[in-house]
């Protein structure tokens, strides 16, 4: 009873009466137990799709032989092609979904993701320019991703500075500025596309549609490291992200340093997505679909939503990439086309839902 007596607003007899009605508010808020169970469930789902994606592909391999005999061609495919590809899908999906969730808190709107805020478009443009310029110099493997990463950061900075009005960021302005920059980068890519030769045009398509083709372990490691650093930063702001959904003033009145939190989210997400775009191009809608599905299923508390987006995004991406590889095997559909195919209708559904809610 001591804890009750200390509380400022509670009459002990009232508390007792309601305690009998509703023992512990089951399901009304996030508990550590619910968070752990949800993450375990999503982890199991990820494991299943990852095993499936390792087993199936354009070429049939025997997993048992691959594991038993390291000199077999099955083993070469497993370790040289399948596993790095699945790992790449995992880290890219995790980054895209968690960044989407964080950016949605940043602009207080479920329609935000890296693509819509112009970050990935800028990265793709930088990578494409580097690709064309570096083709004469060589060392494209290094120059192109580095240029993509740098351009993504620059683009973020440009969006941020443009949206800054009187030293403050208004969520709606930020969203609009992001959309405009994204369209602008897209137009620049199209102009480049129309003046270069066929070989480059194909590579440009790769950046625009996104692909997980032929990744190296080194690339996987880079995304994993930048992703982890960004994720830890985002998680330390998870509660603040919850409070931001009350609006800037209300969040500040509850102790949130709103501008600092905005900047932190911005920096963390642009590093994460810059690294992702620099190796896989623009894979759209993952950052939109995954957080929204998870919100519908498990609620909006960012302390669960962020880690759930990591695992759910990974699982979604692995499944989408598996589909991209097997639908027209032995040829391949760009994985970005698969996610966009799922995402387009979903985006419209979200928009419609928002409208009906606004008018009701």
Partner 1 sequence: MSQRALNDGSQTDAALRTIDVRAGYGSIEILHGISLAVGTGEIVAIVGPNGAGKSTLLKVMSATLAPSAGSVELLNRPLAEYDRRELARTLAIVAQENSVAFQFTVLEVVLMGRAPHLGPWRFETSRDLEIARGALGHFDLISLAAHPIHELSGGERKRVFLARAMAQEPRVALLDEPTAFLDMKHVTEIFTRFRELCSNRGLAVVATLHDLNAAAMYADRVLLMKNGSSVAVGPPDEVLTVEALRDVYETDVYIGRNPVNGAITVLPASRV
Given the rule CB under 8 A, which residues bind partner 1? 3-4, 6-11, 14-15, 17-19, 21-22, 24-25, 27-32, 104, 108-110, 235-240, 242-247, 249-250, 252-257, 295-296, 299-301, 303, 357
Pick the closest to residue 97 from 236, 272, 297, 286 (CA basis): 286
Q: Which is nearer to partner 1, 6 or 161 (CB)?
A: 6
Q: Which is nearer to partner 1, 86 or 256 (CB)?
A: 256
Phi, psi values for residue 53, rounded to 5°? -70, -25
The secondary element (H helix, E strand) that includes residue 346 is helix 335-359
- C-alpha 304/C-alpha 284 separation (Å) is 23
Min CB(107)–partner 1 separation in Å: 9
Min CB(52)–partner 1 separation in Å: 32
Q: Which is nearer to partner 1, 268 or 282 (CB)?
A: 268
Q: Which is nearer to partner 1, 282 or 304 (CB)?
A: 304
Q: Which is nearer to partner 1, 9 or 64 (CB)?
A: 9
Pick the closest to residue 148 from 284, 336, 280 (CA basis): 280
Min CB(48)–partner 1 separation in Å: 28
Per-residue b or e along 207-232, where b marks 16 or more CB atoms closer than 10 Å to that residue's CB: bbbbbbbebeeebbebbbebbeebbe
Min CB(171)–partner 1 separation in Å: 9
Q: Hey, what are 133's tokens?
A: 């310029």
Min CB(239)–partner 1 separation in Å: 6
Residue whose pair of structure tokens reads 């060392």 in the numeric block: 139
Min CB(35)–partner 1 separation in Å: 8
**CB-CB contact of 345 with 286 (8 Å):** no
Q: Which is nearer to partner 1, 331 or 358 (CB)?
A: 358
Phi, psi values for residue 168, rounded to 5°? -130, 155
Phi, psi values for residue 302, rounded to 5°? -65, -20
């Amino acid at each position: 009873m001591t804890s009750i007596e200390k509380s400022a607003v509670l009459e002990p007899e009232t508390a007792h009466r309601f305690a009998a009605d509703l023992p512990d508010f089951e399901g009304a808020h996030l508990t550590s137990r619910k968070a752990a169970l949800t993450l375990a469930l999503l982890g199991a789902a990820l494991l299943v799709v990852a095993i499936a994606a390792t087993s199936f592909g354009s070429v049939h391999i025997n997993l048992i032989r691959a594991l038993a005999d390291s000199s077999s061609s099955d083993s070469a495919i497993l370790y040289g092609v399948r596993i790095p590809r699945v790992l790449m899908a995992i880290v890219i999906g995790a980054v895209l979904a968690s960044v989407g969730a964080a950016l949605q808190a940043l602009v207080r709107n479920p329609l935000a993701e890296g693509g819509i805020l112009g970050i990935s478009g800028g990265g793709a443009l930088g990578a494409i320019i580097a690709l064309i310029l570096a083709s004469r110099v060589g060392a494209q493997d290094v120059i192109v991703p580095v240029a993509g990463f740098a351009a993504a950061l620059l683009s973020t900075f440009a969006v941020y500075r443009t949206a800054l009005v009187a030293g403050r960021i208004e969520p709606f302005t930020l969203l609009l500025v992001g959309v405009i920059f994204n369209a602008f980068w897209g137009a620049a890519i199209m102009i480049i596309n129309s003046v270069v030769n066929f070989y480059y045009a194909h590579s440009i398509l790769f950046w625009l549609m996104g692909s997980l083709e032929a990744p190296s372990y080194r690339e996987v490691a880079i995304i994993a490291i930048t992703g982890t650093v960004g994720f830890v930063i985002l998680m330390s702001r998870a509660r603040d992200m919850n409070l931001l959904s009350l609006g800037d003033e209300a969040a500040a009145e509850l102790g949130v340093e709103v501008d600092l939190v905005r900047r932190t989210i911005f920096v963390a997400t642009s590093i994460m997505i810059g690294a992702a775009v620099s190796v896989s191009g623009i894979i759209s809608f993952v950052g939109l679909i995954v957080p929204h599905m998870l919100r519908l299923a498990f609620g909006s508390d960012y302390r669960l939503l962020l880690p759930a987006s990591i695992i759910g995004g990974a699982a979604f991406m692995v499944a989408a990439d598996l589909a991209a590889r097997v639908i027209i095997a032995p040829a391949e559909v760009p994985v970005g086309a698969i996610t966009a195919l799922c995402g387009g209708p979903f985006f419209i559904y979200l928009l419609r839902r928002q409208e009906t809610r606004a008018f009701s």
